[in-house]
Amino acid sequence: MENIPSKLIIIMSLFVLCGGESHAANFAKGLEAYDAKDFVSARRIWQDLAEQGHANAQMNLGLMYDFGKGTKKNYKKAKRWYSRAAEQGHANAQNKLGSMYDKGKGVEQDLIEAAKWYRKSAEQGNPNAQVRLGLMHYKGDGVTQNYLEAIKWYQKAADQMHAGAQFNLGKVYQNGKGIKQDQKKAAIWYRKAAEQGHASAQLSLGLMYKNGNGVDKNYKEALKWHLKSAESGLALAQYSLGLIYRHRKDLGYMYKQEKGMGVNQGKKEAVKWYRKAAEQGLAKAQNNLGTMYEKGSGVLQDKQEALKWYLNAAEQGYAPAQVNLGLMYYNGDAVKKDNAYAHMWWSISSSAGSATALKNLDIIEKKMTKSDIFRAKKLKQECTNKKYKGC
């Protein structure tokens, strides 16, 4: 969710089209009140100006209703004021109005209308709108899919140092959609965004260093960028960092030399980062954390805790966790042994394409009666109907 800045973004010129110096002075008073966190007074001042057609006041009033500053959140009123400013050609308001239509906030979602307003704003040079318009062209949302058009708008925003646009350009070059694949250029754009603190770009750059794509393989740099991204709270980076600490034998020497960290300490770090990602709901991190608890790797063995994390991931439809959960029922680990439930989870997992689950089903069915298998299939149907929750 985007946050309203403590100082409004749209402090443009204080000289407004209608009203002259008196309107400019009143608008400035609104800014002073806002900066002093007197949001009620700021809203009152801008309300008067907005009703007289002051575009900046209309924009600010929209923001206050959008984010609940000095008033309750009201997306319909926010949309109304964004519209009035947008119709006067206010680029930031046009971008905000596009976002309202894009997300269906205060209005029924309409991607065509969203693209229309993003384009108006983008053509005035608004980098946020340029990125959104580029993404819509990339995905074909509200417009005809056109990778070259997407790249054009990404480039315009990236040239204005928009980190998200730089990251998107990196992805385009890495994937080679609409442009010749170029790992080196991908790394260049990822770096530009990463150096601005873009967490996903930091992870992507870290992975390029880890795998030697577009840059020389460098485990120290890989770890550095993974850490930056993970410490910013990106769950995928935390998971990836957990994998590095858990598996990368080629990093073991570096840990020891640079951090005084050997293999066992590395496993503890893996648990730490898996947990951070798992607590954010990332299914594959939950599964891996469950594995660490089940094996007692980097943490005291606790099969009940393993069961908990496997279940969290399995309920999200993550097939490897469903396999592991089935094994716990099959072996009676932290749960009463029950072949029907083991069969249920393996059957669900095999339906998602797990070859391991399919092999396990073949083994367990030889140990089950027809009535047991019938019960297991009934359990699967019930669990599927509940979307794997509370099975």
Distance CA 60, CA 85 (A): 10
pLDDT confidence of residue 20: 54
Which CATH number belongs to the domain containing residue 228 in this structure? 1.25.40.10
Angle between helices 219-231 and 199-211 (to 10 degrees): 160
pLDDT confidence of residue 249: 56
Quick one: which of 206, 200, 140, 130 has its CA closest to 165? 130
pLDDT confidence of residue 258: 52
pLDDT confidence of residue 96: 98
How is residue 351 written in tokens?
């339906």
pLDDT confidence of residue 24: 86
Per-residue pLDDT of the chain (391 residues; tens, 9 = 90+): 344 544 454 444 333 344 555 778 899 999 999 999 999 999 999 999 999 999 999 999 999 999 999 999 999 999 999 999 999 999 999 999 999 999 999 999 999 999 999 999 999 999 999 999 999 999 999 999 999 999 999 999 999 999 999 999 999 999 998 899 999 999 999 999 999 999 999 999 999 999 999 999 998 899 999 999 999 999 999 999 999 998 865 554 455 545 555 556 789 999 999 999 999 999 999 999 999 999 999 999 999 999 999 999 999 999 999 999 999 999 999 999 999 999 999 999 999 999 999 999 999 999 999 999 999 999 999 999 999 999 9
- Report the b/e string of 310-342 with b at 16+ CB within 10 A: bbbbbbbebbbbbbbbbbbbbeeebbeebbbbb
- Of 47, 64, 88, the domain-final residue: 88
pLDDT confidence of residue 11: 42
| CB neighbours of residue 48 within 10 Å | 14
Q: Which distant-in-sequence residues (6+ apart) come within 8 Å of 42 by Cβ? A: 30, 31, 33, 34, 60, 64, 69, 70
On whether residue 48 sits in a domain, the answer given is yes
pLDDT confidence of residue 310: 99
Task: Yes or no: say if 95 and 86 are a contact pair by the CB < 8 Å rule.
Answer: no
Q: What is the largest CA-CA distance in the chain?
A: 88
Distance CA 149, CA 142 (A): 14
On whether residue 7 sits in a domain, the answer given is yes
On whether residue 6 sits in a domain, the answer given is yes
How is residue 222 written in tokens?
């890989």
Q: How many domains does the chain have?
A: 2
pLDDT confidence of residue 219: 87
On whether residue 29 sits in a domain, the answer given is yes
Q: Cα dist. 37→45, 57, 128, 224 in Å? A: 14, 17, 26, 39
On whether residue 357 sits in a domain, the answer given is no
On whether residue 376 sits in a domain, the answer given is no
How is residue 102 written in tokens?
């894009």
On whether residue 223 sits in a domain, the answer given is yes
- Of 280, 301, 336, the domain-final residue: 280
- Of 37, 68, 88, the domain-final residue: 88
Q: What domain range includes position 80?
A: 1-88
Task: Yes or no: say if 99 and 135 are a contact pair by the CB < 8 Å rule.
Answer: no
pTM over 0.85: yes
Distance CA 30, CA 24 (A): 10
Which DSSP category does 250 fall into? G
pLDDT confidence of residue 264: 64
Task: Yes or no: say if 192 and 198 are a contact pair by the CB < 8 Å rule.
Answer: no
pLDDT confidence of residue 23: 72
